[in-house]
Structure 1
Amino acid sequence: MDNSETSLSEQQQIRLEKLRQLRELDINPYPYSYDVTHFSTNILGNPSLVTEVPDDNTPRVAIAGRVMTRRIMGKASFFTLQDSKGIIQVYIRRDDIGVETYNTLFKKLVDIGDFVGIKGFVFKTRTGEITVHTEEFTFLGKTVRPLPTPKEVENEKGEMMTFSAFSDKELRYRQRYVDLVVNPEVKETFIKRTKIVQAMRNFMNRCGYLEVETPILQPVYGGAAARPFVTHHNALDMQLYLRIANELYLKRLIVGGFDGVYEFSKDFRNEGLSRFHNPEFTQVELYVAYKDYHWMMGFMEEMIEHVALEIHGSTKITVGETEIDFKRPWPRIPMYEAILNETGYDLYGKTEEEIRTIAKKLHIGIEEGMGKGKLIDEIFGEYVEPKLIQPTFITDYPVEMSPLAKIHRSKEGLVERFEAICNGKEIANAFSELNDPIDQRRRFEDQVRLKNEGDEEAMALDEDFLRAIEYGMPPTAGIGIGIDRLAMIMTNSESIRDVLFFPLMRPE
């Protein structure tokens, strides 16, 4: 066992002994509740609470949170208390709370990280810091594992260097509960993420669209090109899949007569981990009857512009060293044109073998089983997508890449599909939805052929979905927007793990 493990064990033993002493003193180390009247920010932002000479009419506050630092000065002490909103200084004096409470409970048995409740009045110290003067002290929760604390180390020049207490990225992802305490600014990322979802939900609700729920466990997976997670239902003795997308069930609801439906969903794809990929992720899918992909482009850019204004008060957001502007309208570039501009190769009308040859010339890694659509996707992903920093619509995809999209009304071999690209990554995918059941069956059969040839991400044939659209589906526009990637941009986060409370990690 190394020194750090020994030290940690010793500290835990000391805290466990203090826990025992609390119980011996008949102090409940884990009481059931505490009546909080104010948060730290309420007090710091309300000068009317500050008093110079307290009396019976002086307003009192009751706050609760963790003890984060202590400065003991004999018969009186200062400490900082961290609640869910921020940090505030607290003054505590032996003469106010009693000798036993001050000397035994506060000075000897309270550790950094413990939860306490404070009732008292608000004043300003001589240095002008707003502080709560303790009149009642209540113990609310004992920590038996110490929080990480910053370390000071002397460098070669004799200068004191302060190192963050909890800066290791992997440790922060694994122990987000500690990260949120030690690095409270991390909370802002997740608060913004919640506000992004709220802004989108409010926008779609105002448009009159209905939020719905569809199955997570599905007998046939579909709606995207991805490998699914597989599970088994014991009672029915049947294989089920965790959904990779909501699309086919939401379109069933359009068949059923809803004009517009949307769902914020957890979806699951059995793929690798990266800065931009987590096997469990969040997206919102929206389907609107009697609309097409042109309308959906306008809808999306209006909604995301609205989200940026709600979150930042501006359409301009700084991501790394780049300023991204979500102000409408966004550029619209056909896919083949975008590839031609970056590679010099016009792929439109080329056969699969011709495109394979071009891919080799472009040094694209080609795997067995890659069809025409996959080859084009690889070229686009290598040469075009990373260069699209400002929000851009890439439109009019090859039919081979889009088995659920409607054939283009004027361009042979293409479909009415767009992807929204921002900061070098796709954040949304949308179609004029295919509602011809004969064409849809043929496309599904093409996907089955690709799967048999080795494409593990090809879609399965869903007979129930085909039956649904055989009953008739109106012209429909559909879109899926990746919440995690959008949150990365809106919060200036480097990795998808920075916007997930608990990302998937390798076993420790």
Structure 2
Amino acid sequence: MNQNPDGGNGNGTPDDGDTTDPRVARREKLRQIEALGIDPYGSRFDDRTLIGDCRKRISEVKFQTKDGQLLELPDVESEDVDYRQWKSDNGPGEEIGPTVRVAGRIMLARPTGKLIFLNIKDWTGSIQIFIGKKQVGEDDFALAKLFDLGDLIAAEGRLGRTNTGELTVFAEKLTFQTKMLEPPPEKHAGLTNVDLKQRMRYADLAFNDGTMETFLDRTRIVKSIRATLDADGFCEVEGPTLHTVAGGAAARPFETHHNALDMGLTLRIALELHLKRLMVGGMERVYELGRVYRNEGLSPRHNPEFTMLEVYQAYGDYVSMMDLTERVICNAIEVIGGGYQREYAGKTIDFTPPFKRATYAELFKEATGIDETDDKAVIEYAQKLGLDTEHKHLDVVRNEIFEEKVEDTLEGPIFVIDYPASICPLTKRKRDNPEIAERFELFISGMELANAYTELNDPDLQQKLFETQLEGQDDEESMAKMDHDFIRALRHAMPPAGGLGIGIDRLVMILTGQKSIRDVILFPVLRPTENG
């Protein structure tokens, strides 16, 4: 594929005099198609059969013997069968099959004199098209000789098998749908440059094996999540994306300004606080699947714009949310197939429920050898790691150690439960130990995938926590952002509840075995190029 979209004369079109530019030949064929009186950009094509559905109709293809007997075809795709020999063994006869109308992109072309074999692909699969001059006529055969790789075409004809057993549409009528003016990627190399794949997602989807299936799996996963929640009686809502207070998470927001109201606004960094307002109003099971925005860096695990699921269940707690998280993930796995044993980052992850559960304190001691309640030992250990401990709350130091020594070792899936309360300002404390918050994070392959709480519904404590930023905690790491309207809402009585957040992009990334979050986001944020 042309690596410089602005090649040629600078406006994206080739110089007509440049005979080395394959785009020149493609435009010449476009003019020849127009000269045949055919619109090179196609038109409506009714009664189309998706290629995947064509493949399901193979049982309708029969071999009719000379005496009229209909024979089932052998399964040439799973059995070692010489189809040509099989037909010969059954004597004179002919293959019969349904007439289908298919459309797709030309992925392979093999012209042989008065015959042309094409492979076309739509978003459900690929199939061979047999084009014979005798079968389609002079005009359509002349059109077929103007086809290029990447062109969109349609064909009508009988579904059957060639003598080699290849499932094929034996074309009787051709329709041109759209000329591709850019050359496709090299047949065997494909579009391999990672940056170009993400920057030119249309080409990645069209020409790279597996990309379409990954994104269709993403759709299946999202639909499964909604089905799981809907079956549990949850109500899906849409909250505002423009907020006056960037609350519900610790992150730097994108800021904007509303001209008519002359007021500052931010794009939401979380869905939480508005969903909790709805629980106050009586929506007892509520969720949102939506975009959130954080003005932070790019990495294989981070994109500034990403998709979050947040769920809130009145009269539940963080244990309720653990059970729900397992159901959501296991149901998604069942929808996309492949089983609970899944490969990711070179390792096998076992999603068989129930997932392992371990406390923050247990994992801390296991990784460091020290008791996380031993303040002196914690400080000494942090200093050995080179962590700054001056003017920092001890729980901030503990959590930095946890992130440094524990998180990357968590292959999972594992629920890490019972975090230090001071770093969880939206979370209910344990009744028998107010220093511990009823919170979990789900880790898989060293990556946080979900975060959940028994939600704090005490308005006075919530106000106090909003007003408190831990010593040594950066603004971007703190949730200490006052939201007076949210406090007022809590004073109207929010029921005790469990709340859950799942990063959808990370979930899809893990379940589909992709290396980077940008491989499961259709149009990720990318660094600018020289051409903008």
Q: 1:49 to 1:149 in 2, by over 3 A?
A: farther
CA shift digits 1:260-297 (9 cap, x unpaired): 10110111111111111111111111111111112222
C-alpha distance in 1, partners of 2:475/2:356?
A: 33
Match in the other structure for 2:85: none
Match in the other structure for 1:477: 498
Report the more deviating stretch, 374-383 or 85-94.
374-383
CA shift digits 1:127-171 (9 cap, x unpaired): 111211111111110111111123xxxxxxxxxxxx522111111
Residue 495 (1) aligns with residue 516 (2) = yes
Structure 1 SS opposite 2:493: coil
In the alignment, which of 470, 479, 483 is matched to residue 462 of structure 1?
Answer: 483
Report sequence identity in percent: 42
Match in the other structure for 2:463: 441
C-alpha distance in 2, partners of 1:310/1:83?
A: 22
Unaligned runs of 5+ in 1: 151-162
Q: 2:49, 2:102 within 8 Å by CA — same for their partners in 1?
A: yes
Structure 1 SS opposite 2:316: coil
Q: 2:103, 2:152 within 8 Å by CA — same for their partners in 1?
A: yes
Q: 1:368 to 1:165 in 2, by over 3 A?
A: farther
Report the more deviating stretch, 31-40 or 410-419.
31-40
Q: 1:399 to 1:60 in 2, by over 3 A?
A: same
Q: 1:369 to 1:312 in 2, by over 3 A?
A: farther
Q: 1:225 to 1:114 in 2, by over 3 A?
A: same
C-alpha distance in 1, partners of 2:510/2:112?
A: 47
Aligned-pair CA distance for 1:436: 0.8
Residue 99 (1) aligns with residue 138 (2) = yes
**Counterpart residue identity of residue 125, structure 2:** G
Match in the other structure for 1:160: none
Q: 1:205 to 1:440 in 2, by over 3 A?
A: same
Q: 1:450, 1:458 within 8 Å by CA — same for their partners in 2?
A: no
Aligned-pair CA distance for 1:409: 1.5
Match in the other structure for 2:351: 326
Q: 1:335, 1:396 within 8 Å by CA — same for their partners in 2?
A: yes
Report the more deviating stretch, 248-257 or 354-363.
354-363
Aligned-pair CA distance for 1:305: 2.5
In the alignment, which of 2, 24, 29 is matched to residue 18 of structure 1?
Answer: 29
**Counterpart residue identity of residue 70, structure 1:** A
**Counterpart residue identity of residue 145, structure 1:** E
Match in the other structure for 2:121: 82
Structure 1 SS opposite 2:404: helix
In the alignment, which of 58, 68, 89 is matched to residue 47 of structure 1?
Answer: 58
Aligned-pair CA distance for 1:121: 0.8
C-alpha distance in 2, partners of 1:285/1:249?
A: 11
Aligned-pair CA distance for 1:24: 3.0
Q: 1:3 to 1:218 in 2, by over 3 A?
A: closer
Structure 2 SS opposite 1:431: strand
C-alpha distance in 2, partners of 1:13/1:224?
A: 53
TM-score with structure 2 setting the length: 0.86
C-alpha distance in 1, partners of 2:219/2:391?
A: 41
Match in the other structure for 2:82: none
Q: 1:51, 1:122 within 8 Å by CA — same for their partners in 2?
A: no
Q: 2:243, 2:268 within 8 Å by CA — same for their partners in 1?
A: yes
In the alignment, which of 130, 135, 141 is matched to residue 178 of structure 2?
Answer: 141
Match in the other structure for 1:234: 259
**Counterpart residue identity of residue 332, structure 2:** V
Residue 360 (1) aligns with residue 380 (2) = no
In the alignment, which of 294, 316, 319 is matched to residue 294 of structure 1?
Answer: 319
C-alpha distance in 2, partners of 1:95/1:45?
A: 28
Structure 1 SS opposite 2:291: strand
CA shift digits 1:88-132 (9 cap, x unpaired): 1111122232223313x221x221111111011123212111211
C-alpha distance in 2, partners of 1:309/1:200?
A: 11
Structure 2 SS opposite 1:345: coil
In the alignment, which of 62, 69, 88 is matched to residue 108 of structure 2?
Answer: 69
- RMSD of aligned C-alpha atoms? 2.6
Q: 1:196, 1:311 within 8 Å by CA — same for their partners in 2?
A: yes
**Counterpart residue identity of residue 221, structure 2:** I
Q: 1:252, 1:465 within 8 Å by CA — same for their partners in 2?
A: yes
TM-score with structure 1 setting the length: 0.90
Q: 1:12, 1:144 within 8 Å by CA — same for their partners in 2?
A: yes
Residue 115 (1) aligns with residue 138 (2) = no
Aligned-pair CA distance for 1:320: 3.6
Match in the other structure for 1:251: 276
**Counterpart residue identity of residue 480, structure 1:** G
Aligned-pair CA distance for 1:327: 2.2
Q: 1:371 to 1:142 in 2, by over 3 A?
A: farther
**Counterpart residue identity of residue 439, structure 1:** L
Match in the other structure for 2:526: 505
**Counterpart residue identity of residue 39, structure 1:** L
C-alpha distance in 2, partners of 1:17/1:210?
A: 56
C-alpha distance in 2, partners of 1:488/1:22?
A: 43
C-alpha distance in 1, partners of 2:509/2:474?
A: 33
C-alpha distance in 1, partners of 2:497/2:217?
A: 31
CA shift digits 1:365-397 (9 cap, x unpaired): x49986444433321111111111121111111
Aligned-pair CA distance for 1:52: 5.7
Q: 1:369, 1:455 within 8 Å by CA — same for their partners in 2?
A: no
Match in the other structure for 1:38: 49
Q: 1:313 to 1:181 in 2, by over 3 A?
A: closer
In the alignment, which of 190, 194, 213 is matched to residue 169 of structure 1?
Answer: 194
